[in-house]
């Protein structure tokens, strides 16, 4: 199963008030495993960068001035998305900005049915706890020491680790053998043995008659054992 984890950086909180998308980072998962395939792009927002937003992600108007417009890379982005489910932290925010940019250039919006929100997942898993990306990384032991400022690709990579942990962890694909045919044979076990190591027959996993007799003798000699109080 192919899934896309993505994150965005913007000039503010609301595209309806003129805020624009300035960065997007995407990470591909297949069967809950990172493939190493990513998509990352900066966009010229054609407007100034508010100081409060720049303080969050560090992207200045000067830095973005020579970056392509969203329209110039939209086909690459949509090709990367494909028809996969799209996972984001506070996903309605990210979907809102991507769809606003698509609407601006006359392209169909992303189907909201494809949206998976890790904040909503976290609220169900950990009600009453903090659900920020930083707080959840701390809860799941995900190293974020290199996260000085927000960055779309970096945050998408952290979110990919978090999503994997919240959906079963790295062992999600492991299962027990369904038949004795999957178990190692005696000849295979013999082949795996280190020839320099002496072979010892396995010890039977049950007490012998002599051991049981010694145990009964020991128990009989106990002075007022506690378990007799309940008899």
DSSP output for 38-95: EEEEE---SS---HHHHHHH---HHHHTTSPPHHHHHHHHHHHHTT--EEETTHHHHH
Task: Report if residue 195 sits inside a domain.
Answer: no
Q: How many domains does the chain have?
A: 1
pLDDT of amino acid 210: 87
What is the edge-to-edge ordering of all strands in the sheet holding 33-42? 33-42, 21-30, 2-10, 86-88, 115-117
pLDDT of amino acid 138: 92
Q: What interhelical angle do 91-104 and 118-125 show, nearest 10? A: 170
Which residues form the catalytic set?
150
Residue 147 lies in domain:
2-166
pLDDT of amino acid 177: 42
Task: Report if residue 20 sits inside a domain.
Answer: yes
Task: Report if residue 182 sits inside a domain.
Answer: no
pLDDT of amino acid 218: 86
Task: Report if residue 40 sits inside a domain.
Answer: yes
Q: Which stretches of the chain score pLDDT less than 70?
A: 148, 170-205, 227-231
Residues at the binding site for a divalent metal cation are 7, 9, 155
pLDDT of amino acid 73: 98
Task: Report if residue 147 sits inside a domain.
Answer: yes
Task: Report if residue 181 sits inside a domain.
Answer: no
Q: Are 4 and 26 in contact (CB under 8 A)?
A: yes
What CATH number has the domain bearing residue 126?
Answer: 3.30.420.10
Task: Report if residue 149 sits inside a domain.
Answer: yes
Task: Report if residue 231 sits inside a domain.
Answer: no
pLDDT of amino acid 230: 56
CA distance linking residue 114 with residue 110, whole number of Å: 8
Residues 6+ apart with CB under 8 A from 142: 136, 158, 161, 162, 165
Residues at the binding site are 7, 9, 57, 155
């Amino acid at each position: 199963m192919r899934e896309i984890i993505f994150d965005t950086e913007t000039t503010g909180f609301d595209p309806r008030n003129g805020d624009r998308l300035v960065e997007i980072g995407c990470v591909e998962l297949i069967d809950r495993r990172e493939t190493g395939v990513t998509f990352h792009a900066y966009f010229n927002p054609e407007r100034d960068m508010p100081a409060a937003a720049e303080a969050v992600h560090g992207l200045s108007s000067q830095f973005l001035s020579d970056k392509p417009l969203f329209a110039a890379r939209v086909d690459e982005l949509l090709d990367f998305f494909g028809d996969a489910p799209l996972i984001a932290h506070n996903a309605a925010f990210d979907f809102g900005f991507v769809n606003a940019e698509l609407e601006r250039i006359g392209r169909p919006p992303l189907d909201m049915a494809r949206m998976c929100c890790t904040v909503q997942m976290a609220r169900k898993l950990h009600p009453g706890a903090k659900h920020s990306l930083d707080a959840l990384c701390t809860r799941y032991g995900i190293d974020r020491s290199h996260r000085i400022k927000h960055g779309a690709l970096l945050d998408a990579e952290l979110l990919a680790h978090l999503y994997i942990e919240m959906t079963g962890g790295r062992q999600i694909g492991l299962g027990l053998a369904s038949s004795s045919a999957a178990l190692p044979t005696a000849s295979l076990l013999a082949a795996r043995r280190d020839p320099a190591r002496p072979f010892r027959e396995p010890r039977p996993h049950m007490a012998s008659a002599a051991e049981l007799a010694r145990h009964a003798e020991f128990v009989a000699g106990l002075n007022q054992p506690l378990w007799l109080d309940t008899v």
